[in-house]
Amino acid sequence: MAALMNKRDFLRTSTAAGLGLLLGDRVWAKFTDVPADQLAGHEAFWATIRAKYRLKPDYINLESGYYSMQATPVLEAFVEKVREVNLQASYYLRTTQVPDKAAARDTLAALAGCSPAELCITRNTTESIATVVNGYDWKPGDEAVQAEQDYGHMLAHFRLVARRYGMVNRLVSVPPDPRTDDDVVSVYAKAITPRTRLLMVSHVINITGHILPVRKIADMAHARGVDVLVDGAHAFAHVDYRIPDTGADYYAASLHKWLGCPLGTGILYVRKDKIPGLWPIYGDWRMTDDADIMKLNHTGTHPVHTDLTIEHAIAFHNAIGAQRKEARLRYLQTYWTSKVRGLPKVILNTPSDPARACAIANVGITGVAPDDLAKTLLDKYKIWTNAIDSPAIGVQGVRITPHVFIQSTDLDVLVRAISEIARA
Ligand SMILES: Cc1ncc(COP(=O)(O)O)c(C=O)c1O
């Protein structure tokens, strides 16, 4: 039990002392009064955060959008949990597994700004969204609204229930560089009919980094009696917000993206009054209370060491500070996009308004296929990215997702690479 107690010691000390513990009090004293927006460009400060990660020297990792590596203190805690759970085996599962997971959920709920009774820990956004979409008692002719820019597999959940129950999906197309929030909200509003029951919206579009005005979309949908499911896979612990402020009835996110948790961690938020209306996917013979969100959370025996590590990732995230992290991530994106936007043949597939994007941006070059661009970036410039080739929605380029361990000098390499490839 000692190692499991250590987890709590680590948490207590790191949460209380914040950055002082991460950086050492002497270093922290230099930065303590610097506002987040000024600290965003302070490379010496962020170098101390970078030092908390083990990075491969072979390439510059600009693909944290898929999976963001754990910081070393989080990884060490995770490995310790793997060893400890293995050592205690079924003793652990039959004694403190459930209260430990509940404690992790409480910490997550504090970060999300919601009640623990409205949150459960899942494996990922996929599971969370599938739980909601499959939890509806769809009738033939019922309608749901999504966008072409949503993540393909999440749209597939809706196609599946359309095939199975005869419900109907209506796809909108989000304007790529809106001038106002209403440019986006009105697109969703036009797709709603008297048969619409559910609207899914991405908080951050994964291929472009576009941050959508989810609160305004939710208010508009609610005024028409439509429920709102927010796909927050890319928003949680990336931009700073509280889930209830989004207006979502249901909110799904992955913790292995921007929070830096081990692979296979996610959340599902269901607003309290919406819990009784959802059918669970898996049965649970103990569950008699239809208003208990845990009815949605029975998945059988699973890798509990991931649950145990969530609190460590949150401690690391909180130690940096959500505002500081968002300001740094937006700084990194605008640092490189401002240097290449407007260059001949360079196409930015991300909104120009800095408030409508944060870390993620997408860049293409006229005449260069996305796969070739990604390959040249890796082979010639040692930059790891992800090619996005979606001509149907007008996005052809590479997605660039820097995390807090990326420095402006890494992005100078990217800027040089894009400039040279566009000139060639
Ligand atoms: C917008 C969006 N939704 C859902 C997912 C699925 O996330 P996961 O694979 O963690 O379930 C992703 C993954 O990148 C995503 O970008």
DSSP letters spanning 231-272: E-TTTBTTB---GGGGT-SEEEEESSSTT-PPSS-EEEEE-G
Position 176 scores a pLDDT of 96
Distance (Å, whole) CA 188 – CA 225? 14
Mean pLDDT score of the chain, rounded to an integer? 94
Position 20 scores a pLDDT of 74
Position 169 scores a pLDDT of 98
Distance (Å, whole) CA 317 – CA 310? 11
Closest CA to 320 of 4, 30, 31, 67: 31
Atom of ligand 1 nearest to the CA of 125: 11
Position 330 scores a pLDDT of 98
Could you tell me the strand order of the sheet in which 119-122 lies? 119-122, 266-270, 250-254, 227-231, 196-202, 143-147, 168-172
> Could you write out the DSSP letters of every residue in 24-42?
-HHHHHHHTT--HHHHTT-
State the distance from the centre of ligand 1 to the C-alpha of 92, rounded, in angstroms: 31
Atom of ligand 1 nearest to the CA of 202: 1
Position 414 scores a pLDDT of 98
- pLDDT tens-digit map of 320-362: 999 999 999 999 999 999 999 999 999 999 999 999 999 999 9
- The contacts of residue 49 (CB under 8 Å, 6+ apart) are 22, 320, 404, 405
Atom of ligand 1 nearest to the CA of 256: 10
Distance (Å, whole) CA 252 – CA 203? 10
Pocket of ligand 1 (CB under 6 A): 124-126, 151, 154, 202, 206, 231, 233-234, 254
In the block, tokens 């994964």 appear at 206
State the distance from the centre of ligand 1 to the C-alpha of 76, rounded, in angstroms: 26
Position 206 scores a pLDDT of 97
Position 21 scores a pLDDT of 72
- pLDDT tens-digit map of 88-126: 999 999 999 999 999 999 999 999 999 999 999 999 999
Atom of ligand 1 nearest to the CA of 205: 1
State the distance from the centre of ligand 1 to the C-alpha of 157, rounded, in angstroms: 13
- pLDDT tens-digit map of 356-412: 999 999 999 999 999 999 999 999 999 999 999 999 999 999 999 999 999 999 999
User: Per-residue pLDDT averaged across 169-178, rounded?
Assistant: 97
Q: What percent of the chain has pLDDT over 70?
A: 96
Position 28 scores a pLDDT of 77
Give the residue, by CA position, lying nearest to ligand 1 atom 16. Answer: 206
| Whether the predicted pLDDT of 14 surpasses 70 | no
Ligand 1, residues 230, 254, 399: which to mutate, most atoms within 8 A of Cβ? 254
Q: Alpha helix locations (H) across 149-213? A: 152-165, 181-191
Atom of ligand 1 nearest to the CA of 123: 11
Neighbours of 303 (CB within 10 A): 15
Q: How many whole angstroms from its chain centre is CA 280? A: 24
Label residue 17 by pLDDT band (50, 70, 90): low
Higher pLDDT: 297 or 27? It is 297
State the distance from the centre of ligand 1 to the C-alpha of 235, rounded, in angstroms: 11
Label residue 7 by pLDDT band (50, 70, 90): very low
State the distance from the centre of ligand 1 to the C-alpha of 101, rounded, in angstroms: 23
| Whether the predicted pLDDT of 6 surpasses 70 | no
Position 355 scores a pLDDT of 96
Distance (Å, whole) CA 324 – CA 72? 20
Classify residue 225 by burial, with Cβ atoms within 10 Å: 0-12, 13-18, 19+.
Answer: exposed
State the distance from the centre of ligand 1 to the C-alpha of 254, rounded, in angstroms: 7
Angle, CA of 16, 17 and 20, to the nearest 5°:
165
Torsion angles phi and psi, residue 202, rounded to 5: -80, 130
Ligand 1, residues 153, 203, 210, 386: which to mutate, most atoms within 8 A of Cβ? 153
